[in-house]
């Protein structure tokens, strides 16, 4: 699952200053492909008008149980049709009512009728949030299976500093997507590498490649969404670390080798997506190499880097599943199959590089998967996020078959 296509989200908004962030949240949920129903309390309406939410959600907003709904019961319909329900922001009052099963307004009545997964995003003054009665209510809700998204800490509108701030809308949307993902990787430890390595020549120059990290980050994120505990070892890229993923930043091949090999023992599945530089300058100058005006050439001697994947293939235990990637400009199948054998892999995902829409930098990728038993599957050109889920599906099928 890469977004919220075809999903229906019920968004409850209660009366906190952070209600304005719910406007952006509705926009993001719609952008991710969801249909959105909004329910607001009277207090929320004092912060943001319902017209804004009606326009953005393209649905009437539930504020009153007694409004004429032309024969249907609007709040029950919204509760019944949602795939997930979220309250953002959730005040202490609303949390208390939900914890006790009270239904004295349109929002709490609607939420009491929800059978889909519910997420609560508390947002309030720090002292209120830390109050034992609020914490007790949150514990009660959590025990009932409600997912509580912890507030951020920082400067609050009430001039206090501490936990209580509603997280950014993109983060809430991300966690809603996760809540709806099947947790078929729960209990599994996944180690992924991504991005290029960067091999310094001197303090200002280096040898590297075009890897953007998009493919590896998509795999790390997809595994986290599906319930795995994920460690990502990443070369230098311009992407934000994926939420919920333990991210280790490295620069050189040697640093990546140290990080991957030290984390390997604790992993069930290892996916080496990084574009590791095969060679590095034989020495790293400590001072910037100066340009000499009458010299129009310079020679750089390169030495071979360790092959991290091959080292992992040598160390691999029977119960570990090792996946490599192959970046090829030609003879994709022959080269990929050679690498499976040479590096003792269970699977390799081969992609053509140096073409548009696939391989380095692109948002999309066209991958052919080769397994060590000789089977081969072509995945058509698609978004790297979708490719990531298909690769994880393939790995899971294999693991289930062999366990
Ligand atoms: O990051 P993006 O812009 O999204 O691009 C994605 C990608 C094209 C980088 C990715 O899909 C990909 O193909 N990654 C592998 C790149 C690569 O180094 O391929 P290779 O065929 O040279 O190496 C084969 C395998 O050995 C790879 O898993 C590589 O990580 C590993 N290797 C290579 C050399 C080395 N010294 N150590 C290694 O571990």
Ligand 1 centroid to residue 399 C-alpha, Å: 23
Domain total for the chain? 2
Q: Are residues 135 and 101 in the same domain?
A: yes
Q: Are 195 and 275 in contact (CB under 8 A)?
A: yes
CATH of the domain at 304: 3.40.50.10300
Q: Are residues 172 and 195 in the same domain?
A: no
**Domain containing residue 62:** 2-180
Output the pLDDT for position 131. 97
Output the pLDDT for position 291. 82
Nearest-atom index, ligand 1, CA of 306: 36
Q: Are residues 140 and 202 in the same domain?
A: no
CATH of the domain at 86: 3.40.50.1950
Q: Are residues 140 and 219 in the same domain?
A: no
Helical (H) or strand (E) element with 97: helix 92-100
Per the DSSP assignment, residues forming a β-bridge with 104 are none
Ligand 1 centroid to residue 393 C-alpha, Å: 21
Helical (H) or strand (E) element with 361: none
Output the pLDDT for position 340. 96
Residues with catalytic function:
158
Q: Are residues 171 and 198 in the same domain?
A: no
The whole model's pTM is what? 0.91
Output the pLDDT for position 402. 78
Output the pLDDT for position 70. 57
Q: Are residues 22 and 50 in the same domain?
A: yes
Residue that finishes a domain, picked among 180, 207, 239: 180
Nearest alpha carbon, ligand 1 atom 35: 307
Q: What is the mean pLDDT of each run of 10 residues along the chain (403 residues)?
A: 88 96 98 97 96 96 78 80 98 98 95 97 96 98 97 86 94 96 96 98 96 98 97 98 96 98 98 98 93 83 97 97 95 94 97 89 96 94 96 95 77
Nearest-atom index, ligand 1, CA of 311: 39
Strand order across the beta sheet in which 84-90 lies: 35-40, 8-13, 84-90, 118-122, 147-148
Residue that finishes a domain, picked among 149, 180, 211: 180
Q: Are residues 254 and 397 in the same domain?
A: yes
Q: Are residues 193 and 171 in the same domain?
A: no
Ligand 1 centroid to residue 289 C-alpha, Å: 30
Q: Are residues 148 and 211 in the same domain?
A: no
Output the pLDDT for position 73. 75
List ligand 1's pocket residues with C-beta within 6 A: 211-216, 253, 272-276, 278, 305, 307-309, 324-327, 339, 351, 353, 359-361
Nearest alpha carbon, ligand 1 atom 23: 326
Ligand 1 centroid to residue 322 C-alpha, Å: 14
Between CA 387 and CA 181 the distance in angstroms is: 16
Q: Are residues 170 and 214 in the same domain?
A: no
Residue that finishes a domain, picked among 142, 158, 180: 180
> Which residues have C-beta within 8 Å of that of residue 292, sequence separation ≥ 6?
none
Q: Are residues 23 and 89 in the same domain?
A: yes
Q: Answer whether the bond into residue 341 is a cis peptide, omega within 30°.
A: no
Output the CA torsion sign for 332, 337, 342, 345.
Answer: positive
Output the pLDDT for position 238. 97
Q: Are residues 76 and 193 in the same domain?
A: no
């Amino acid at each position: 699952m890469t977004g919220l296509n075809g999903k229906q989200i019920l968004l409850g908004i209660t009366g906190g200053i952070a209600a304005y962030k719910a406007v952006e949240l509705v926009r993001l949920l719609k952008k991710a492909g969801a249909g959105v129903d909004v329910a607001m309390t009277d207090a929320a309406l004092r912060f943001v008008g319902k017209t804004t939410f009606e326009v953005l959600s393209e649905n009437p907003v539930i504020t009153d149980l007694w409004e004429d709904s032309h024969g249907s019961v609007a709040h029950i319909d919204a509760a019944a049709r949602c795939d997930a329900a979220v309250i953002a922001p959730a005040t202490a009052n609303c949390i208390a009512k939900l914890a006790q099963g009270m239904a004295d307004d349109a929002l709490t009545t609607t939420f009491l009728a929800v059978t889909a997964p519910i997420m609560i995003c508390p947002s309030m003054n720090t002292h209120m949030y830390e109050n034992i009665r609020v914490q007790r209510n949150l514990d009660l809700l959590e025990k009932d299976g409600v997912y509580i998204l912890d507030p951020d800490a920082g400067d609050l509108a009430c001039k206090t500093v501490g936990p209580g701030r509603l997280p950014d809308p993109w983060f809430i949307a991300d966690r809603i997507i996760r809540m709806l993902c099947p947790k078929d990787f729960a209990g599994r430890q996944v180690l992924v590498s991504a991005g290029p390595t960067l091999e310094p020549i001197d303090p200002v120059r280096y040898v590297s490649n075009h890897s953007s990290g998009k493919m590896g980050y998509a795999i790390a994120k997809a595994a986290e969404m599906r319930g795995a505990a994920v460690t990502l070892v990443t070369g230098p890229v311009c992407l934000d670390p994926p939420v919920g993923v333990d991210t280790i930043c490295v620069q050189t091949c040697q640093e990546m080798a140290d990080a991957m090999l030290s984390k390997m023992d604790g992993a069930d599945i290892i996916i080496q997506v990084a574009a590791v530089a095969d060679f590095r300058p034989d020495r790293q100058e400590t001072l910037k190499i100066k340009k000499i005006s009458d010299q129009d050439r310079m020679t750089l001697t390169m030495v071979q880097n360790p092959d991290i994947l091959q080292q992992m293939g040598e160390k691999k235990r029977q119960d570990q599943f090792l996946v490599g990637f192959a970046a090829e400009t030609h003879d994709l199948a022959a080269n990929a199959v050679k690498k499976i054998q040479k590096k003792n892999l269970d699977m390799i995902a081969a992609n053509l590089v140096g073409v548009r829409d696939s391989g380095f930098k692109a948002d999309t990728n066209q991958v052919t998967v080769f397994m060590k038993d000789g089977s081969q599957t072509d995945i058509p050109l698609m978004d790297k996020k979708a490719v990531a889920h298909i690769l994880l599906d393939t790995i899971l099928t294999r693991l289930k078959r062999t366990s």
